[in-house]
Amino acid sequence: MKRRNFVNLFLGGSLLATVAAFLYPVVRYLLPAKQASAAQQKVTAAKVGELPPNSAKSFRFGSSVAVLVNTAEGQLVALSAVCTHLTCTVRFESDTATLFCPCHNGRFDLGGNVLSGPPPAPLETYRVEVAGEDIVVSRKS
Amino acid sequence: MAKTPGRAVFEFLDERFLLSDIITFGRKKMVPEHRQSFWYFFGGICLFLTGIQVATGLLLLLYYTPHVDFAHESVHFIMSQVKFGWLIRSVHSWTANILIGVIFVHMFSTFFLKAYRKPRELTWMTGFFLLVMFMAFGFSGYLLPWNELSYFATRVGTDIAGSLPLIGKWLKTVILGGPDVSQATLSRFFWFHVALLPLAALAFIGLHVLLVQTLGMSKPVGVREKREIPFFPDFLLKDAVGWTLILVLVGVLCVFLPWEVGPKADPFAPTPLGIKPEWYFTFMFTTLKIVPPHILGVEGEMLAILGFLAGGLLWLLVPFLDRRAARDERSPVFTWAGLAVALYIIVMTVLTYTVPKL
Amino acid sequence: MPMKKPFSRLVAAAALFAPLVVFGQKNSCLECHDQLEDELKAPVTAFKGDIHGQFNLSCVDCHGGNPAEDDVDRAKDRTFKGAPKRTQVPQFCGGCHSDGAYMRRYNPGLRVDQLDQFWTSRHGQLLKGGDSKAAVCTDCHGVHGIQTAKFPKSTTFPWNIPQTCARCHADAEYMKGYKIPTDQIAEYQQSVHAQALLVKKDLSAPACNDCHGNHGAFPPEVSSVASVCRQCHLSAGELFARSPHKKAFDELGAGECEACHGNHKILKPSTAMIGTDDPAVCAQCHEQGSRGFAAAAEIRTALDGFEGAFQDVEGLLALAEQKGVEVSDAKFKLLDVTTILVGVKNLTHGLDVAEIRKSVGEGETALAGVRAAGEKALEEARFRRQGLVVATVCLAFLAVALALKVRQMSRQRKST
C-alpha cells in the first residue's frame, strides 16, 4: 500500500511541477510587455515646434538612423541618414541646406539626391505627417 | 462511506455524458507487446508534437502580424521583447522539424511492418494525406517570418510547382495569389497555415485516430506473440515517458540553438547562393538539380516532377497493390521497394548538405 | 503582267544594294590589311571596337590616303601620312583633339586641352627634351581599339588605370635611368584605395590619375600633397590646416598627409600611429618632456581606452548572440558609437586634446548604454540556462515517476 501511494504521489507531484514549469513561461508570455507592439514603421520623430526652421534632428527609424529636417521655409522632410557610400551618418548643414557626410565629403540635397562626392545612390526619403502634437515619420510604401 | 469530492464530480458528469460507457469501451483496447511494438509509440509522439504545435502556434498568433511591413518586425519583437517569446517561437520552429521527421519514421515503420494491410488501408491513406498536409504546414509556415531565406525558398519552391505541365502556371498563380511572392502570398500562406490546414488536419487526424482506436494495433505478419497490455493507461503512460524525453530534447535545442530572425526579405535583392528549401523537401529539390536536362527528348525536370507525383500515387495506393500482405503473407518485394525509397530519400537529403555545389 | 517583272526586279536589286552604297563605302585600307598578318592585320581587328569608328571616322581621317583605290601605290597618295613616329604622336592626335570647332561636331562636351596639359606633364617635358621613351597618347589609350574612359574594358577606365601606368612605371628595366622608384603600383595595390577600387569596385576611390593628374600628370609637390588628399578627405584636411602641425610641416618641408600616411601604400590607419612608441612617428620630432610628446601620449591613451572599451562591448554582444540572445537592438545603438569612434580618430588630425577628450567622453557615455544592454543580454542567457535546468529536472522526475508507475501497473496486472 505504502509503495503504491508513494508512486502515485511521486507521479502527481512531478506532473504538477512540470505543469507549473511550463505554465509560468506561458503566463509571462501572455502578459503584455512594456513596449506596446512591434509596429516600428511609424515613428514619432519629434514634437511640433521642437525644431526651429533650418535645423534638423536625427532619430531611429526601423533598424537604422534617419534625419528630420525643418527647412528654412518651414517644410518638414525626413530622409535616411545612412550615406549610400560607406554607411557613415550624414548631418544637416544649415548654411548650405544640404546633408553632408563627413567621411568622404558626400553631399545630398534635401530631396536625397546626390549633389557631389562619392555616394553612388540617393538617400531614401520618408513620409512626414503631423498628428496633433507629434511629427510622425513613416515609410513611403 | 462518504463520497470523495472526486467521486461526486465523476458521478455528476457520468450521468450526463455517459462517461462510464466510454471508459468501458476505452478499457477494451489492448496493445500487442512483441519485439517490434516499440514502433507503436511513434503515432502518439506525432499526436503529442502536433499538440505542441497547436499550443505554441496559438500563442504566436497573439503577437504575429501577417503583413509584409510588420511580419518580420513582429517576429523580431517576439524574439527580443516578449517574455519567453524566444522560447515559444523556437519551440514552434524546432518541433515543426522534429514532427515531420517523426512522421516519416512513423510512416516507414508502419510500411515495413505492413500495418497498411487489410483492413487498415484507410488508416494508411489518411496518414499519407496527413504527411502531405504537414509538409504543406511546413512550407506555408516557413514564409511567415518574411526573412531572406523564407522569401527565396518560397520562390524556388513555387517555381517548381509552376513547371508542372499544363496546370503549372495556373497552380503557381493560385498558390502565390499572383505572379510573384508578395503580400497576397503572405496572406494566403497565413490562411493556409492557421485556418485551412489546421481544419483539414483535424478532420484527417480525427479519422486516422478513430480508425486506429476502432481497428486496434496491427501485428506484423507472422508474429505469434499473444502478450497484450491495455492501451489506457499502461501504453499511454509508456508513451508519456517518450513525450517527456522529447520535451527535454526540445528544451535543450531551444536554449542552445534558438531559431534565428534573419534579415528581412528584400524582393529586389539577388537570390542568395545555395538557397535551399527546408530539409524535408531537399530530397526532391536535389533530385531536380541533378536530373539531366533532357531524357529521351523530354525535359528532365518535368519528368522528375511527374515521377514524384506518380511515385506518390503508388505510395498512397500501396495497401491495394500489396496483395500478398493483404492475405497476411510476407511480401519481400514491397519491403525491398520501401527500403529503396527510404534509402533514396536519405541519400538525396544528405547529398544536399554534403556536396557543396550541387 | 510579264512587262512588270523586270521592273520589279530592278527595284528589288536597287533596294538590296542600296545599303551597300550607303554603308559599304569602299575602304581599301581595311580590305587589304585584313588579308595581311600579325601586326599589319592587328589594326583592322582592333578598329572594330574603336570609338572613332563609331563616329564614322576611319583610317583616312588620321592617316590620309585614298581608300577608294585598290592599288596600294595609288591608295597611298600625297595625302597619306603613314604611321607617326612616337615623338610625333601627341601632335598627331592633337591635330583633331585640340581643335574645339572640329571636336564640337562629334562630342561637344569633350575637353580639348589635353595636348596643352600634356606639355605641362613630366611625360610631355621629357618628350620635348627628345626622350622618346616617355609616355605618349597611344601608350595609355591604345592605338586602334581606343575606347572612352567610361567603358569598363577601356585602358583608361578607373580600375584599369593602375595596370596601364604599371606598363612602364613597374618595369624596372624600362625605367632604368629615371631615378624614380618602380614599386609605386605594387605599393598602391596594398593600399585601402586599391582595395576599394579594385576589389570593392568603388569607382569613387582614387587611381593614379586622381592624385597625379591625367594628361598633366606630375607627382604633386610636397606642399600640395595635402590639397590633393583634401579633395576627398575634407574634414581631415581642415582639421590638419588648423592644427599646429601645418605651420611646422610647411617649415620643415614635410609632406602634410604623406608624412604619416605614406603616398602609395596608404593603409588603414590605426591608433598605433599616434603615441610615443613605435611605430608612431611623433617621437621623431617631439622629445620626451616636450608638450608635443605629452600630447601624443595623452591622445593615444584616450583613443586606446575608447577603442578598447568599444571592442570589449562588441565582444560582449557577440558572446550574448552566440549564446542565443537577440541583440540586434543593442548592435544598432553600437552603430552610433562606431560613428563617434570614427569621428574621434579623425579629430586626431586637429591635435586639440580638449576636443578629442570631449568627443571620447561622448562616445564612452553612449557606449555605457550599449554595455548595459549587452550585460542584460548575458544575464538573459544565464537565466535561460538556469530555466532549462529546472525544466529538465522536473521532466526527469516525471519520466522516472511514469516509469515507476508503469512498472507498478504491470506488476499489479501480473499478480491479478
In tens, the pLDDT along C98-134 reads 999 999 998 899 999 999 999 999 999 999 998 989 9
**Which of C399-411 are b and which e, b meaning 16 or more Cβ less than 10 Å from the residue's Cβ?**
bebbbbbbebbee
Cβ neighbours of B85 in A, within 8 Å: 29
Cβ neighbours of B238 in C, within 8 Å: 402, 406
What distance in Å separates the CA atoms of residue A106 and residue A117, rounded to the nearest whole number?
Answer: 4
Quick one: which H or E segment has residue B236? helix B236-256
pLDDT for res C23: 53
Q: Which three cell numbers stand for residue A119?
A: 555616394
B112 in reach of chain A (CB within 8 A) = no
Whether B339 maps to a domain, the answer reads no
CATH of the domain at B138: 1.20.810.10
- Residues with Cβ within 8 Å of C103's Cβ and at least 6 positions away in sequence, in order, are C96, C97, C110, C112
- Which chains contact A through at least 3 pairs of Cβ atoms less than 8 Å apart? B, C
**Do the chains contact at C326 and B261, CB–CB below 8 Å?**
yes
- Which has the minimum average pLDDT: C273-282, C356-365, C371-380? C273-282
Identify the burial level of A119 via C-beta atoms within 10 angstroms of its C-beta, where 0-12 means exposed, 13-18 middle and 19 or more buried. Answer: buried
- Output the average pLDDT for chain C: 87
Cβ neighbours of C410 in B, within 8 Å: 229, 234
What distance in Å separates the CA atoms of residue B290 and residue B301, rounded to the nearest whole number?
Answer: 9
The radius of gyration of chain B from alpha carbons, rounded to an integer in Å, stands at 23
Grouping H, G, I as helix, E, B as strand and the rest as coil, residue C268 is coil
> Which whole number is the average pLDDT over C283-287?
82
Which tens digits make up the pLDDT trace of B165-184?
788 889 999 999 999 899 99
Residues 317-346 of B with CB under 8 A from A: none
What distance in Å separates the CA atoms of residue C268 and residue C261, rounded to the nearest whole number?
Answer: 9
C335 in reach of chain A (CB within 8 A) = yes
Give CA B266 to chain center in angstroms. Answer: 29
**Do the chains contact at B77 and A38, CB–CB below 8 Å?**
yes
Number of domains, chain B: 1
Percentage of chain B modeled with pLDDT above 70: 99
A140 in reach of chain B (CB within 8 A) = no
**Do the chains contact at A29 and B76, CB–CB below 8 Å?**
no
Which tens digits make up the pLDDT trace of B340-352?
999 999 999 999 8
Which tens digits make up the pLDDT trace of B95-116?
999 999 999 999 999 999 999 9
State the SS3 of C121-133: CHHHHHHHCCCCC
Cβ neighbours of B69 in A, within 8 Å: 41, 139, 141
Choose the closest CB to C232 out of A10, A13, A104: A104
pLDDT for res C11: 63
Domain A42-138 has CATH 3.40.50.300: no
Q: At what angle do helices B121-143 and B183-191 cross, to 10 degrees?
A: 150
pLDDT for res B161: 84
Which tens digits make up the pLDDT trace of C395-415?
999 999 999 998 888 888 777
Q: Which three cell numbers stand for residue A47?
A: 514634437
Examine the pLDDT at B91 and tell me if it is beyond 80: yes
What distance in Å separates the CA atoms of residue B196 and residue B215, rounded to the nearest whole number?
Answer: 28
> Which residue range is the domain that position B196 belongs to?
36-277
| C331, C332, C406: best to mutate for the B interface, most B CBs within 10 A | C406
Q: How far is A132 from chain B (nearest CA, A)?
A: 24
Across the beta sheet with A106-108, the strand order is A91-93, A98-101, A106-108, A114-116
Cβ neighbours of A105 in C, within 8 Å: 232-235
- Output the average pLDDT for chain B: 90
What pTM was estimated for this model as a whole? 0.76
**Do the chains contact at C346 and A102, CB–CB below 8 Å?**
yes
Which tens digits make up the pLDDT trace of A73-99?
989 999 999 999 888 889 899 999 999
Q: How far is A50 from chain C (nearest CA, A)?
A: 22
HSE (side-chain half, CA atoms, 13 Å) at C376:
12
Q: At what angle do helices B41-61 and B197-215 cross, to 10 degrees?
A: 160
Using pLDDT thresholds of 50, 70 and 90, give the confidence band for residue B23: confident
Quick one: which H or E segment has residue C142? none
pLDDT for res C3: 53
**Do the chains contact at C326 and B79, CB–CB below 8 Å?**
yes
CB distance A116 to A105 below 8 Å? yes
CB pairs under 8 A between A and B: 47
A27 in reach of chain B (CB within 8 A) = no
Spell out, as residue ranges, where chain A has pLDDT lower than 50: none
Q: How far is C134 from chain A (nearest CA, A)?
A: 33
CB distance A117 to A106 below 8 Å? yes
Using pLDDT thresholds of 50, 70 and 90, give the confidence band for residue B3: confident
- Residues with Cβ within 8 Å of C274's Cβ and at least 6 positions away in sequence, in order, are C280, C282, C296, C299, C300, C303, C348
Examine the pLDDT at C187 and tell me if it is beyond 50: yes
Whose cell is 614635410? That residue is C254
Report strand pairing: B298-299 vs B294-295.
Answer: antiparallel
Which tens digits make up the pLDDT trace of B231-240?
888 889 999 9
| A11, A19, A26: best to mutate for the C interface, most C CBs within 10 A | A11
Q: Where are the alpha helices (DSSP H) in C242-352?
A: 244-252, 258-261, 291-322, 328-347
Residues 216-275 of C with CB under 8 A from A: 232-235
pLDDT for res B100: 96
CB pairs under 8 A between A and C: 73
**Do the chains contact at A38 and B63, CB–CB below 8 Å?**
yes
Cβ neighbours of B252 in C, within 8 Å: 388, 392
> Which whole number is the average pLDDT over B10-39?
86
Which of B253, B99, B260, B92 lies closest to C392 in space, CA to CA? B253
Q: Which three cell numbers stand for residue C298?
A: 595623452
pLDDT for res C10: 62
Q: Which three cell numbers stand for residue C346?
A: 579623425
Which tens digits make up the pLDDT trace of B251-262?
999 999 999 898
Choose the closest CB to A10 out of C336, C342, C404: C404
Across the beta sheet with A125-131, the strand order is A42-47, A134-138, A125-131, A76-80, A64-70, A55-61
pLDDT for res C22: 46
Percentage of chain C modeled with pLDDT above 90: 39
- How is chain C split into domains, by residue range? 220-266, 291-384
> Which whole number is the average pLDDT over C218-241?
82
Quick one: which H or E segment has residue C397? helix C353-415
CA distances from B226 to B117, B222, B223, B326 (A): 20, 12, 9, 21
If you measure CA to CA, which chain A residue comes closest to C331?
A: A63
- Which has the minimum average pLDDT: B31-45, B301-315, C20-34? C20-34
If you measure CA to CA, which chain C residue comes closest to B242?
A: C399
**Do the chains contact at C409 and B233, CB–CB below 8 Å?**
yes
